[in-house]
Amino acid sequence: MDSEALMDEHRQFYERFQSFWAAPTGARVAELIAPHAKIHFTGAGTMTGAAYVDWMADLLAGLPDLVVTPVDYAGSGELIYIFWRAAATINGAHRKYYGVDRFRIENGMAVEEHVIFDSATLQGPA
């Protein structure tokens, strides 16, 4: 794939990621993540894309005021990096945090994802 086509694929994936977080649901994970994908989520371990659907549904139910805002992205070959900010009420306190998702995409779908952020933000007070 030439560099212009890769840039277009990265842009399209980023736009779909933005769309997902504008109205997130567990079922919508399948719009971005292939069922056989390997997901590495900070603090939650590793799961398949198929399992991520239910995991995300549970996360969203547990954090009903979660807002994730995609900020920017960069791509290199089959990899796309998306920088985001998030806010939610966690253990009774409003928290804000930032992270990066690193996706490996094939044919427009993520086949691997690393969700990277400081998971200490999700913990209660010390």
Distance of CA 53 to the CA centre of its chain: 12
Tell me whether residue 102 is in a domain: yes
Q: What's the pLDDT band for 82 if we cut at 50, 70, 90?
A: very high
pTM of the model: 0.91
Query: How many domains does the structure of the chain reveal?
Result: 1
Residue with tokens 């690393």: 114
Is 75 domain-assigned? Answer: yes
Classify residue 124: in a domain, yes or no.
no
User: CA of 89: how far to CAs of 2, 37, 122, in Å?
Assistant: 43, 29, 9
Instruction: Give the tens place of pLDDT for each residue, 13-52.
Output: 999 999 999 999 999 999 999 999 999 998 889 999 999 9
CATH number at residue 81: 3.10.450.50
| Domain span holding position 112 | 3-118
SS3 assignment, position 33 = strand
The verdict on residue 123 lying in a domain is no
